[in-house]
Amino acid sequence: MSEPVGVPAFSNHLPVRIRFGDRTASQLGSVAAGYGARRAVVMADAGLEDGNAGVASAIETLQDAGVEVERFVKPPGEPTIELADAA
């Protein structure tokens, strides 16, 4: 009898910090500035970019921290590699 096929064990370290919760967009400017960011791209779905308080807050907090913001409006759904290249 053969062994069952499964996912081999592995380990990985991703040096990222995830912030989640109400009003976390208000922290984006200080986080970006803490990394020395001078420019940022904010990618938002068409139809959400203008009327979404989270997107507006993210852009505002980045600009308040002295980060230049480029807006990229995309079709709804997860971005593809081609779309990221276009941005």
**Which residues lie below 8 Å from residue 34, measured CB to CB, with a gap of 6+?**
none
Average pLDDT over residues 78-85: 87
Whether the predicted pLDDT of 3 surpasses 80: no
- Residue 37 has a pLDDT of 94
Cα radius of gyration rounded to whole Å, the chain: 18
Asked if residues 24 and 55 have their Cβ atoms less than 8 Å apart, the reply is: no
Q: What is the pLDDT of residue 1?
A: 58
What is the model's pLDDT at position 18?
A: 78
- Of residues 84 and 23, the one with the higher pLDDT is 84
Q: Taking 80 as the threshold, does the pLDDT of residue 86 lie above it?
A: yes
Mean pLDDT of 50-57: 69
Q: Quick one: CA torsion of 43, 87, 41, 12, rounded to 10 degrees?
A: 80
Q: How far apart are CA 82 and CA 37, in angstroms?
A: 24
In the predicted structure, residue 64 carries a pLDDT above the cut 90: yes
Please give the sequence-ordered ranges of beta strands (E in DSSP) within 7-80, or none if there are none: 39-45, 68-74
Task: State which H helix or E strand residue 63 sits in.
Answer: helix 53-64
For residue 39, pLDDT over 90 is answered with yes
